[in-house]
Structure 1
């Protein structure tokens, strides 16, 4: 963790994860971590001064990073400090995902959706029914079987996956949904986990298990 202080006041901090690979010093995202990045305390100034403050603090955080042969982080979409990294020689690129507000209704999501996506949804609705997956074990078995059919292993590990799914279900911090054929066979599953945002673990027949965030 790098930090920037002003007297006894914490101005900003940035966690990083060391994951050595052989002789190489590598920093990547820790397991089960969607995003990292800098956290800067606002100073309550006008936009120009606030921007300059963030740039200054972020630059000081970057300067404290150890020397890495490879450094990779994904920032939350609300983190706007990528410019400071670009100016320090890092390669910066954009990733895209869906962000749907918790107060957004189904019709509000449907209206701006492309006609092609709507047709896919309509066609799927003729053969599939979406309902809760009652047992976490059913979700895990489908997820693991989907990977095994393609000679892949669980990136999280079977034990960690079991503990993770059981934990967010028991704490009501997540929800498991399945798309079922009319005969009751699973066609796809998704695990939605939330804090301020919703993140997902999903798997579908015919495709690799995927990870994404909403």
Structure 2
């Protein structure tokens, strides 16, 4: 009798294990497969465009000023990698009102623009201005006529290796569908006020 009860208990346990297994299997089968294809395609579209908007350039005397918008997805991928695109998408949704503009200064003969003959400052003071004061010279006007001040500048020092000076300009609180105009009041090289109209946006391929 005891042997029979043991056998019954074994069958009962086995039955419960199998029942649990098949229940879990059904749950897995019911759960839709997660597909990041649409996100991957949208990122591919941005990459196809070279990750940047059209280049907007103006030349005043012997200096070329160039402004380019860079989608923030580029920096998210650069920082986070592309293993978890859903995380990239989530981070983008949290930060989609941020704008990053790349701005370069280049002298036509590839001379170093931070020399005192261009800025009337010492080289060290020119570097400090690029690093800590340049943000006050930039702002953005949206298509709704809102004025957005530059929230920060990242100066990419090239230590005289490249023939240009480059900064990244950061702006916050801008609808991703908004077209913008960048205004630069040049106090460093004293070339006046320059305007760069960004007519293209990434609204069709935003995440």
Kindly name which structure, 1 or 2, has the bigger radius of gyration based on alpha carbons: 2
Class of the TM-score when normalised by the shorter of the 2 chains = under 0.3
Instruction: Give the number of the structure with larger relative contact order, counting CA–CA contacts within 8 Å between residues 6 or more apart.
Output: 2
Structure with higher helix content = 2
